[in-house]
Structure 1
Amino acid sequence: MNGSLMRSPGGALVVVLAALLLVSGCAGASGRAGSTGGDDSGDAGPSVSVEPGSGANGVNPKDPIKVAAENGKLRDVSLVNGDGEQVEGELAEDGSTWKATEPLGYDTEYEWSGKVVGSEGDTAPVRGGFHTVSPRSVVRATVNPIDDKTVGVAMPISIKFDSPVRNKAAVQRALDVRTSKSVEGAWAWLNDKQVDWRPKEYWPAHTRVSVDAPLYGIDYGGGGYGKADLTSEFEIGRSQVVKAEVDKHRMRVVRDGAEIANYPASYGKPSNPDLHTHEGTYTVMAKHPVEIMDNPKYGYTDVEKKWAVRISNHGEFIHENENNRANIGSRNTSHGCVNLTNADAKEYFQGALIGDPVEVTGSGTRMPPKYAVYDWMLSWQQWKQKSAL
């Protein structure tokens, strides 16, 4: 019975269509339908539509900017700013559409010109104009690592902004990371002016990474807009992990899964929390053959130390300290740094990469996750909770 009900409308439709065909056949016999009396129902003339609409204000410069022709083909389409500079664009092969192929400027008036030509030679003008958004501020951003760098397996991708970002979700949606090897990772906002991407685990060695951050035209909130698009292509180097064992007074270097060095070391004084070397995964941030160190609170200024590898903005380095040689390998007496002999510090320095992880264990206290670079001080769950999406 259900089948019968579903077929009934179809049968009625056949009858209606047949009636319509008969009416159409009678009209065709004497020429175009409706050709006598009333309005002519021939082909409509050419027309044009523009996007954004004419008179629009506050247009985002990265919104689609295009012209579409109906019943004709576009000719001589041009979009110019107030200085008469023409916007680059592309006309479709069939002449039906024209679209801008470069971003527009902020706070700028644009005017259309051109025409659409119909099949009978009749024309319609392309005209009108619009004004792009006027930001309260245009915010600069930077990306690190930069192009062509080779970095360690703990290196985060970091985008920093000159001003706070309110609309974090809009920014994060625009960001894209592509890798030559399968890598699970996520973006996290460390503060209002910095968003980092790190993998769940250390990067696979020799991964090629491409970052695309099309930030121009993005509304950051509070009247701020992105100043420019950013890109970067870099490579992850060999895998090297430092195992800094505070309780054993040793620093081991593991490269591609094999231990290549095991140095005696001296770490921070355990009796003073300000000087203790705290546990956590640090990241190599910088390398300097000579570093000038100051800590007036503890009685030293302008002290030169060689082969200095910075691992935290809290003040921790791996460096030589021949003045502390008697304690290296037996007692922890530094002001928080990892002290090595000159020969060992030089050897380690020469093989270290920015972005190498340094895993400090055996001290009994944790480094709070607030000193750059602290990306790896957070668990994966904590990291994902800092996403804006």
Structure 2
Amino acid sequence: MRVITDSIGRPRRLLRPAAATALVLALGGCQFFGSEAAKPAPKPTVSTARFTMTPLDGSATVAPESVVTVGSGGGVLSAVTLAAADGTAVPGKLSPGGASWHSSGPLKYGTKYTVQATAVDGHGLTATGTSSFTTATPETLVSVAKVIPEKGATVGVGMPVSVEFDQKIEDPAVRAAVEKRLVVATSTPVEGAWSWIDAKTVRFRPKTFWPADTKVSVSGDLYALPMGKGVYGGSGTATDFTVGSAVVATVDSAAHQMTVTRNGEVLKTVPVTTGKPGFTTRAGTKVILGKEEHVLMDGTTVGISEGSSESYRLDVYWAARVTWSGEYLHAAPWSVGSQGRANVSHGCVGMSTDNARWFFGVVGVGDVVNVVNTGSSKSMERIGNGYGEWNVPWEEWLQGSASGAVTTGAPAAG
């Protein structure tokens, strides 16, 4: 009998015919059952996309500052709308890939909103979802009552921006939020800061005077700003103005002279008289508040008794005001003999009629008046009697700010 060996010389058994036949049948059976192809699952007829929406459907008294969100599970968002009952739409943004959407604009107070969303699942089937909610109505609104400078004004380099509210704002966190909503933009960047001068008024000034010929815009949308205890921001503000040339008048009380410069160039030096002892002119930096061709000056309005040796009642011309309490730079023809020689006024800066008329034509609101060498401790009030902010050191000014110093950016185009 012939022995068949394997590749390394070991004997290898031959299959008997019956065993071989069984193996063939077994193999054939495997091939038969394996030829049955799996049937594909039937295509769904209903989309598998599902929605999650915040606020929940039917919610009431929703905070107006809330962000509305829509998410889609099992699908991709293809469209989302958020609109008030009157049809006013609120803008929003889809996330990359369309997994979620969120609102990017404020909600109105006391308003019903409806969210409508559409999503597409992996089979191309579309699902829609709808949700409605109502926002809360504030108990109190805090709005901007007044902004200075007025829109379109041209002012001097010393003019601060003043925003007055119709309600008190005392919480430091709310003040910081308000300051961040009040945006100052300038054609020439400046470092500046808001600072609260009282509970209703916040002012912005640069670290140093405004650069000459600067365009300034101020915007502040307080809407939907929560202020605590049901109080919200109301109407905001928007204004723009121009800073003109840098006009600065320096009054030297000891020398009895006033030198006026524009953009650093001396325009004129004129003889003046300032406050006599007991009525010393305030020393320090002041800002022109307004101009009056004629003003009736009455000593009783500044505490001088009628009929006393110091009383007066005069028609005064070409007057530039620097304090609310009644300090002016004006024509004083009755004291021409003392101008340039002695200080004889009750606190104002007096000059001849011709020089006062010239000065009146040169200066404007916001221009700077520096009074030096008075020999007295009487100084310009830093807050409350005009714009005395420039007498406040910068670091101290920042202490009145809830958000700190900023560097202004450029105004928006158009």
Separation in structure 2 between the aligned mates of residue 142 and residue 361 of structure 1, nearest angstrom:
33
**Mapped contact 1:46–1:116 kept (Cα < 8 A):** no
SS in structure 2 at match of 1:203: coil
SS in structure 2 at match of 1:309: strand
Q: 1:325 aligns with which of 328, 333, 336?
A: 336
Separation in structure 1 between the aligned mates of residue 395 and residue 67 of structure 2, nearest angstrom:
38
SS in structure 1 at match of 2:67: coil
Q: What is the CA distance between 1:123 and its match in structure 2?
A: 2.5
Separation in structure 1 between the aligned mates of residue 203 and residue 80 of structure 2, nearest angstrom:
46
Counterpart of 2:190, as a letter, is V
| Structure 2 counterpart of 1:385 | 399
Query: Residues 30 and 178 of structure 1: is their aligned pair in 2 closer, same or farther, counting only changes over 3 Å?
Result: farther
Pair 1:109 & 2:123 matched: no
Q: What is the CA distance between 1:157 and its match in structure 2?
A: 1.2
Q: What is the CA distance between 1:280 and its match in structure 2?
A: 0.8
Q: What is the percent sequence identity of the aligned residues?
A: 29
Query: Residues 54 and 267 of structure 1: is their aligned pair in 2 closer, same or farther, counting only changes over 3 Å?
Result: farther
**Mapped contact 1:138–1:226 kept (Cα < 8 A):** yes
Query: Residues 30 and 356 of structure 1: is their aligned pair in 2 closer, same or farther, counting only changes over 3 Å?
Result: farther
Separation in structure 2 between the aligned mates of residue 203 and residue 230 of structure 1, nearest angstrom:
21
**Mapped contact 2:90–2:107 kept (Cα < 8 A):** no
Answer with 363-372 or 240-249: which moved more. Answer: 363-372
**Mapped contact 1:288–1:309 kept (Cα < 8 A):** yes
**Mapped contact 2:283–2:374 kept (Cα < 8 A):** yes
Pair 1:247 & 2:283 matched: no
Q: What is the CA distance between 1:171 and its match in structure 2?
A: 1.0
1:160-239 matches, cutoff 5 A: 160-166=164-170, 167-221=174-228, 223-239=230-246
Pair 1:316 & 2:324 matched: no
Q: 2:347 aligns with which of 330, 336, 340?
A: 336
**Mapped contact 2:196–2:203 kept (Cα < 8 A):** yes
Q: Give the gaps of 5 or more residues in structure 2.
A: 1-36, 404-414
Query: Residues 172 and 342 of structure 1: is their aligned pair in 2 closer, same or farther, counting only changes over 3 Å?
Result: same
Separation in structure 2 between the aligned mates of residue 91 and residue 217 of structure 1, nearest angstrom:
16
Q: What is the CA distance between 1:355 and its match in structure 2?
A: 0.9
**Mapped contact 2:64–2:136 kept (Cα < 8 A):** yes
SS in structure 1 at match of 2:297: strand
Q: 1:125 aligns with which of 122, 129, 135?
A: 129
**Mapped contact 1:214–1:230 kept (Cα < 8 A):** yes
Pair 1:282 & 2:292 matched: no
Q: 1:238-289 CA deviation, whole Å, 9 max, x = no partner?
A: 111110111111111011111101111111122x1xx221211001111121
> What TM-score does the superposition give when structure 2 sets the normalisation length?
0.75
| Structure 2 counterpart of 1:153 | 157
| Structure 2 counterpart of 1:293 | 297
Query: Residues 195 and 47 of structure 1: is their aligned pair in 2 closer, same or farther, counting only changes over 3 Å?
Result: same
Q: What is the CA distance between 1:97 and its match in structure 2?
A: 6.9
SS in structure 2 at match of 1:87: coil
Q: What is the CA distance between 1:219 and its match in structure 2?
A: 2.8
Counterpart of 2:340, as a letter, is G
Query: Residues 76 and 189 of structure 1: is their aligned pair in 2 closer, same or farther, counting only changes over 3 Å?
Result: closer
Separation in structure 2 between the aligned mates of residue 340 and residue 265 of structure 1, nearest angstrom:
5
Q: What is the CA distance between 1:64 and its match in structure 2?
A: 3.4
| Structure 1 counterpart of 2:25 | none
**Mapped contact 1:171–1:220 kept (Cα < 8 A):** no
**Mapped contact 1:244–1:252 kept (Cα < 8 A):** yes
SS in structure 2 at match of 1:288: strand
Query: Residues 53 and 281 of structure 1: is their aligned pair in 2 closer, same or farther, counting only changes over 3 Å?
Result: farther
Of the two structures, which has the highest relative contact order with CA contacts closer than 8 Å and spacing of 6 or more?
2
Answer with 209-218 or 47-56: which moved more. Answer: 47-56
Query: Residues 321 and 286 of structure 1: is their aligned pair in 2 closer, same or farther, counting only changes over 3 Å?
Result: same
Higher alpha-carbon Rg: 2
Separation in structure 1 between the aligned mates of residue 357 and residue 66 of structure 2, nearest angstrom:
54
Counterpart of 1:126, as a letter, is T
| Structure 2 counterpart of 1:85 | 86
Separation in structure 2 between the aligned mates of residue 180 and residue 91 of structure 1, nearest angstrom:
31
Q: What is the CA distance between 1:58 and its match in structure 2?
A: 4.6
Q: What is the CA distance between 1:98 and its match in structure 2?
A: 6.8
Q: 1:181-210 CA deviation, whole Å, 9 max, x = no partner?
A: 231211111111111111111111112222
CA RMSD of aligned residues (A): 3.1
Query: Residues 220 and 361 of structure 1: is their aligned pair in 2 closer, same or farther, counting only changes over 3 Å?
Result: farther
**Mapped contact 1:65–1:99 kept (Cα < 8 A):** yes
Separation in structure 2 between the aligned mates of residue 102 and residue 342 of structure 1, nearest angstrom:
58
Q: 1:103-124 CA deviation, whole Å, 9 max, x = no partner?
A: 4332x13131534253544433
Counterpart of 2:130, as a letter, is V
| Structure 2 counterpart of 1:368 | 381
| Structure 2 counterpart of 1:354 | 365
Counterpart of 2:53, as a letter, is V
